[in-house]
Structure 1
């Protein structure tokens, strides 16, 4: 199965409390149908100092969000687009933006 969203892609969140935010995909979990997007769905963990000389505090990190809530950004128009696939002459299957037909390089 070819992945529509991959690590390193620029995406926009289309649903949820972070709707409209843009970020880069840091991790994709295809079996769970989730992705971690930079700067989206932040969680705060309060951590105690681990030992002498260590500093405790609040640590912020990203949570995974459902893949259905993100949309790839078209490289030509910088707008959200759906992803299609095309088979090139050299038998490679590549991703294309549905709005413009532009190849998505990754």
Structure 2
């Protein structure tokens, strides 16, 4: 009996690199940080100073010291919400079509969210 493998579905991520977000669930709930990386195929994001893990590294030519290093690990994008700096609240994102194109809008205060790229 064969098992069909399900292909990973690219998830629509509601945050972009450079956005300020707040973690809403999990061990780091309530922490705020900037999005450093987004992985749409995996549905995960890396946030500055959130979900810190320790990596044990062997000495190598590029890293002769080796040792234990702390770095940010990805967390599920569903566990974060965009943080609006205008109204200082976590918010959902809506899209508004203008003559300049699509812009992201804060659902709470209606302010256009800056494009970080």
| TM-score, normalised by the number of residues in structure 1 | 0.89
Aligned counterpart, 1:97: 106
Aligned counterpart, 2:88: 78
Aligned counterpart, 2:48: 38
Q: Hey, what's the Cα distance between the residues in 2 that align with 1:68 and 1:94?
A: 21
Shift of residue 56, structure 1, vs aligned partner: 2.0
Shift of residue 2, structure 1, vs aligned partner: 7.1
Q: Hey, what's the Cα distance between the residues in 2 that align with 1:65 and 1:26?
A: 12
| TM-score, normalised by the number of residues in structure 2 | 0.81
Aligned counterpart, 2:24: 14
The runs of at least 4 consecutive aligned structure 1 residues that moved more than 4 Å come to none
Asked if 1:48 is matched to 2:64, the reply is no
- Is contact 1:75–1:102 with CA below 8 Å preserved after alignment? no
Computed over aligned residues only, the root mean square deviation of the Cα atoms, in angstroms, reads: 1.9
Q: Hey, what's the Cα distance between the residues in 2 that align with 1:76 and 1:42?
A: 28
Residue segments in structure 1 that go unaligned for 5+ positions in a row: none
Q: Hey, what's the Cα distance between the residues in 2 that align with 1:76 and 1:18?
A: 23
Change (3 A) 1:6 1:26: same
Equivalenced residues, count: 104
Q: Hey, what's the Cα distance between the residues in 2 that align with 1:4 and 1:41?
A: 19
Choose which of 28, 38, 52 in structure 2 pairs with 1:28: 38
3-state SS in 2 of match to 1:16: coil
Q: Hey, what's the Cα distance between the residues in 1 that align with 2:31 and 2:12?
A: 25
